[in-house]
Amino acid sequence: MGLFHRQFLLGITCIGCLTVATPGWAQATLESWRVDPHRRRLEFRTDQPTQPQLRVVGGQRVVIDLPDTRWRQPQTQQDFGTTQVRIAQYQPDVARLVVAVPEVISPAQVRLEPQGSQGWTVVWGVPVNASTILQSAQWQGSGILLRLSGPEVVGRVRRSKDRQWLYVDLPNTAVSSSFQNQTRPYNLRVEPGAMGSLRLALEVKTSDPDWQLRPIPQGLLLTRPNSTPSTNQTAPPAPPPRPGTKTRYTVLIDPGHGGSDPGAIGRGGIQEKEIVLDISRRVARLLEAQGIRTVLSRTQDVTLDLEPRVALAERVNATLLVSIHANAISLSRPEVNGLETYYYQNGQWLARSIHKNVLKTTNAPDRGVRQARFYVLRRSSMRASLVEVGYVTGAQDAPRLASSSYRQQVAQGIAQGIIRYLDNLSQK
| Dist CA 101 CA 62 (whole Å) | 8
Q: How far separated are the first and last CA of the chain, in Å rounded?
A: 34
| Dist CA 52 CA 358 (whole Å) | 41
Which of 346, 63, 84 shows the shortest CA–CA distance to 189?
Answer: 346
Alpha carbon 199 to chain centroid distance?
16
CA atoms within 13 A on the CB side of 319: 17
CB within 8 Å of 228: residues ≥ 6 apart:
142
What kind and span of H or E run contains 293?
A: strand 293-296
Query: What are the DSSP E strand ranges found in 101-139?
Result: 110-114, 119-124, 132-139
Active-site annotation holder among 103, 272, 340, 388: 388
| Dist CA 315 CA 21 (whole Å) | 46
Instruction: Classify 407 as helix, strand or coil.
Output: helix
- The secondary structure of 327-353 as a DSSP string is EB--TT-TT---EEEEE-SS-HHHHHH
Specify whether the CB–CB gap between 124 and 38 falls below 8 A.
Answer: no
Which of 62, 59, 54, 68 shows the shortest CA–CA distance to 17?
Answer: 54
The dihedrals phi and psi of 276, each to the nearest 5 degrees, come to: -75, -30
| Dist CA 183 CA 186 (whole Å) | 5
Tell me whether residue 203 is one of the annotated catalytic residues: no
Tell me which residues are annotated as active site: 388
